[in-house]
A and B are shown apart, each in its own frame.
Chain A
């Protein structure tokens, strides 16, 4: 059961973290939240389709289709988050912001597709084994509920911050998330042999193992890797700095704007 809890929690937590931050920033920007419903609905639909067609997809690109598709979706999430950061206005305004709506929707659609499909595949695997089904369902429900609760609490925590601090914290969390996504994309491409495997830059498994509960939760939250390769470190930094750069690009171009 613990494995089901950790697996579902890890996937739920990634999506909940992203949605909480986007939602809190939506309220700060005085923008409508239709993107959430659109994103969730389309994301769930695509994740079910993705999971259902996984046998075919995994045969693509010489049997590394799943890795390559996941990496593409994760890279797309990073790109959409960067554009989302660019769409944020320095002063909140209820006037329509189409880029904000599109990027928020697409980030959620891609995130739910990746995370949701993994849960779908995991669950359908256990639907064949009736003996473990109840255990897995209980474990998955607990993992989902914990992930959702953390997301809700994070959202209200961010909502209670003042506008300046909310923007700063939200962008930092998005930067970590984007870095995590790009780093995971690199790892997927390494597993597909599209990027050469390299030696680990460091090994922190003695202090915190990746397979421990804390390690797996930190992986979901900030993309913790005990033995990351140089490509992963670089992609992590690229993703994170990309968000911060896009968020401040308007100010860099016009330093006098407040």
Chain B
């Protein structure tokens, strides 16, 4: 009985997957005007993307060193081939809805020659190209449903593209406090 139910469920999922592939294929094959390439990753149930140009690399976040007297969204720092990189937790920083069961195994490192920081992610999806016709206006979405500060664009398939310039220019993530001072 149970097995039958499982089999039914699988069959349904298979059908859905096939349908999704059928729908996705023509878009990829079409000659469209490419906007930019992004690295797609997942935090909780949302897919986020960052332009490839601002990416440094993706690494495993298994050797995090926690820093005392820092805000809770600063998970820690990692040694990335000699460079010290701070790793942020967007869940805590933007109070994202979190089921709390999954652990973040990977860190996406962004930066240029001046600035560098890591973002904890649940899963790395991969690289993709974002086309112009995919991008929606930010007005279409409610401000509450997405990170308000770092948002650049949202695609039609709900990919939230983060703006590196906003990350870089965000003063609130710069920690410069004496011990005992109230933290953000």
Asked if chains A and B come from one complex, the reply is: no
Chain B interface residues (CB < 8 Å from chain A): none
Chain A interface residues (CB < 8 Å from chain B): none
